[in-house]
A and B are shown apart, each in its own frame.
Chain A
Amino acid sequence: NAGVTQTPKFQVLKTGQSMTLQCAQDMNHNSMYWYRQDPGMGLRLIYYSASEGTTDKGEVPNGYNVSRLNKREFSLRLESAAPSQTSVYFCASTQRPPLHFGNGTRLTVT
């Protein structure tokens, strides 16, 4: 039972490049979330999807887009990466509390 799987684990981008972070869960959860973690800031919600077919903005959505491809998969896209998006990104899912997290993607934008 894999839980929440994120790919890639590490990525380095140049300013202006685009990329998509992938997330898949095998727990049949309805709700999925993308967070970013910066030093001294805790985890902040970027976007969430309460159910298949719906997405909504969280606390820090600027510069990101998301797609809830199906019930299992929820991707996060950076269209034009900026150094301020250097962070660790976590995907999470839940049917009821608590949230189950993936292992994170460490993204560096130079």
Chain B
Amino acid sequence: AQKITQTQPGMFVQEKEAVTLDCTYDTSDQSYGLFWYKQPSSGEMIFLIYQGSYDEQNATEGRYSLNFQKARKSANLVISASQLGDSAMYFCARGGSQGNLIFGKGTKLSVKP
């Protein structure tokens, strides 16, 4: 199975600092998409950011940026200026062949005041 690997089960970051959440993926496809979702303690899945495999520039959405290294098959999420509200589970995902998403197991981020 083509996997998504998130090696950090849990991370701590000080408020206002930047944090990088790691994600590596398997694929033999030439064209694919990479996604990050946030799941707060309330449980909903919130889409954060998308990167296409042919996009030349790294994706950015406000305080979120995706550090995409195609040759290394990595798609790390960078959150700048962390806020207390950023405490949540974060899931990396890759687009599947049926329009579905294949998810990693997630990283629990805790922001300390």
List A residues at the B interface (Cβ < 8 Å). Answer: 31, 33, 40-45, 48, 50, 56, 58-59, 88, 90, 92, 94, 97-101, 103-104, 106
B side interface size, CB within 8 A? 23
Whether B43 and A48, one on each chain, are in contact in the complex, defined by CB atoms closer than 8 angstroms, is no
With A40-B105, A97-B35: A104-B100 Cβ-Cβ less than 8 Å: no
Q: How many A-B residue pairs have CB under 8 A?
A: 56
List B residues at the A interface (Cβ < 8 Å). Answer: 1, 4, 9, 33, 35, 37, 43-45, 47, 50, 91, 95-96, 98-106
A94 smallest CB distance to B (angstroms): 6
| In the complex, chain A residues whose CB is within 8 Å of the CB of B47 | 98-100
| In the complex, chain B residues whose CB is within 8 Å of the CB of A100 | 47
State A58–B35 Cα separation when bound (angstroms): 19
Whether A42 and B100, one on each chain, are in contact in the complex, defined by CB atoms closer than 8 angstroms, is no
With A97-B50, A98-B35, A104-B43: A42-B99 Cβ-Cβ less than 8 Å: no
Whether A45 and B91, one on each chain, are in contact in the complex, defined by CB atoms closer than 8 angstroms, is no
State A53–B24 Cα separation when bound (angstroms): 35
| In the complex, chain B residues whose CB is within 8 Å of the CB of A44 | 103
State A33–B47 Cα separation when bound (angstroms): 16
State A58–B100 Cα separation when bound (angstroms): 9
State A87–B99 Cα separation when bound (angstroms): 23
Whether A94 and B99, one on each chain, are in contact in the complex, defined by CB atoms closer than 8 angstroms, is yes
State A101–B91 Cα separation when bound (angstroms): 13
State A50–B98 Cα separation when bound (angstroms): 7
With A50-B98, A97-B33: A104-B105 Cβ-Cβ less than 8 Å: no
